Amino acid sequence: MDVLPYILVTAVTVGAMYSLATLGLSLVWGAMGMLNMAHGALLTLGGYAAYSAVTAAGLAWPFGFVAAIIVGALFGAFLYFGLVRFMLGSTAFETNIIIATVGIAIALENVILLIYGGQPLGQPVSLDGMFRLGQVPVASQNLLIVVLSVAIMFLVAFTLRTSKIGRAIRATAQNREAARLMGVPTRSIYLQVLAISGALAAVSGVLLSSITQLSPPLGNDPMLKAFIMCVVAGLGNVQGSVLAAFVLALVEACTQFYLGARWGLPVLLILVILALIWRPYGVFGRTQVTRL
């Protein structure tokens, strides 16, 4: 049996999810120099929000996504009002915010543990059924993941490229002070970026839990991978990190299949180290960090 098509299907699905998670992380880093360590916890939160919307509130499954987006965006906004607002502008912002968001991540994970308990739950927000792609059987859920992720990524990229808010976000990322002089309310831009990133994380959390299971540490592993991909691509480089996500997902899938599951992360990390020795600013990074 030829295994390559199966590996490809897995890689594309996982890559799509990774890239969605990476997109949010990269956006926040690029726009405001903030490494949001609570990004993983936001993924988890999104997954549980969708779960509750469908099981407790009894909504139809597509509304799970809506619930996740709302909760994720609200939590992103909370990060701004509760944290970023006070720390922004201090000289040590970039390091302080890492510590602070690690704290938020731990707290959020434990709140979820308190409410939902530690036992894994099944994600109801998913498509049943299979279809055949040539000879290869593919779960409909995998298709949903890929289509949704790619659609969202194009939407975000399109918004950043062409819309006024997108231009304001890029301007703020590239030169905050100049953006302020143009009349851009940079603080509200930061709020919007955090909300968008929260929503992106929540959606990727729903997708992720639909092919694994819901558990409080759900987001930790993807967060680590998303971080790796951001660094490989060059921090803040959104398009590059999406590409890196797919490539690394493919590498991971191959390694896991041919060498065994436990070799996935080590091989990934070795590749990352080699890539960074070769290109210290990231594979797509330039010496001068390009943002957004």
Footprint on this chain of other proteins (rule: CB under 8 A):
164, 167-168, 170-171, 174-175, 177-185, 288, 290-292
In terms of C-beta density within 10 A (0-12 exposed, 13-18 middle, 19 or more buried), how is residue 276 classed?
A: middle
Between 56 and 181, whose beta carbon lies closer to other proteins?
181
Secondary structure, 3-state, 112-140: HHHHHCCCCECCCCCCCCEEEECCEEEEH
- What DSSP character marks residue 1? -
Nearer to other proteins, 128 or 177 (CB): 177
In angstroms, the Cα distances linking 267 to 227, 255, 263, 274 are 16, 7, 6, 11
Cα dihedral angle (224, 225, 229, 232), rounded to 10 degrees? 70
Q: Is the separation of the CB atoms in 226 and 39 below 8 Å?
A: yes
The C-alpha atoms of residue 240 and residue 90 are separated, in whole angstroms, by 29
Q: Least separation, in Å, of the C-beta of 237 and other proteins?
A: 10
Task: Please answer whether residues 292 and 170 qualify as being in contact, where contact means their C-beta atoms are separated by less than 8 angstroms.
Answer: yes
Minimum Å gap between C-beta 196 and other proteins is: 19
Q: Which is nearer to other proteins, 97 or 168 (CB)?
A: 168
* Residue number with CB closer to other proteins (35 or 173): 173
CB nearer other proteins, residue 170 or residue 279? 170
Specify the amino acid at residue 93.
Answer: F
Minimum distance of other proteins from residue 289's CB (angstroms): 10
CB 185 to other proteins: min, Å: 5
Residue 214 DSSP label: B
> Please, which residue, 167 or 279, has the CB nearer to other proteins?
167
Nearest distance from C-beta of residue 292 to other proteins, angstroms: 7
- Distance of closest approach, residue 156 Cβ to other proteins, in angstroms: 17
